Amino acid sequence: MNETISAIKSRRSVRRYKADPVKKDELDAIVEAGLYAPSAINQQSWHFTVIRNKEVIDRLSLGVKGLLHTHSDEHVRGFAKMDKYHVFYDAPVVVLVSLDQKALVPMSDCSAAIQNMLLAAESLGIGSCWVGMTSVYFTDESHNADFGIPEGFQPRYAVCLGYPDAPKGKAPKRREGTVNYID
């Protein structure tokens, strides 16, 4: 198994982080990896807002929690009631990922970019967690200016990054019957 396949297999979502900031050259490498994702007709339809300010992160967590009751999924709505729940698990860095709404398949492009970032982080011993519920806070453009989001882009996902503070768990079981072969 080579290092890439090993990183793919060993990556887990991390939900406990040390307070230490992520080193600049490691963070730069992770962001750069995101930028090198493929994209439909090379539109590169992403925008990343890298947040290293604890107050901004905490305030965003509260803002998202305040709107979780509007989420379509019952499981996610349940998080709104948990007092101690922090949307970004107190990670020292949060990368907000915004989609160019005019692009062909921006959700796809940005998901590929996020996956690159998760694997880059894994290769550097940095934990990560892809958060999807941030979308509830950005359904209109009212908060965009606070985050420096460019015109026409909608923030959707967030990637928590930081040094893990707990041992790595095992992967949840893979669903069965998800592959068929036509020979």
Partner 1 sequence: MNNEVLKVIESRRSVRAYSPEGLTDGEVEAVVRAGLYAPSAANQQSWHLTVIRTKEIIDRLSDDIKQTLRNSPEKHNQTYGNTPDFHVFYNAPVVILVSGQEGNMLPMADCSAAIQNMLLAAESLGIGSCWTAFTLMHFADTTKNAAFGIPHTHKPMFAVAFGRSAKEKGIAPKRREGTVNYL
Q: Which residues make up the interface to partner 1 (CB under 8 A)?
A: 2-5, 7-9, 11, 13, 25-26, 28-29, 31-33, 35-38, 40, 42, 44, 46-53, 56, 72-73, 75-76, 104-105, 107-109, 111-112, 114-116, 118-120, 122-124, 130, 132, 147-148, 150, 157, 171-172, 174-175, 177-183
Taking the complex as a whole, the smallest distance from the CB of residue 66 to partner 1 amounts, in Å, to: 20
Of residues 155, 120, 118, the one with CA closest to residue 13: 118
Which lies closer to partner 1 via its Cβ, residue 65 or residue 121? 121
Q: Which residues pair with 17 in a beta bridge?
A: 164
Q: What is the DSSP letter of 174?
A: P
Specify the residue, 19 or 35, whose C-beta has the smaller distance to partner 1. 35
- Taking the complex as a whole, how short is the minimal distance between the CB of residue 167 and partner 1, in angstroms? 19
DSSP 8-state symbol, 139: S
* Contact (CB, 8 A) for 96 and 158: yes
Distance CA 82, CA 127 (A): 23
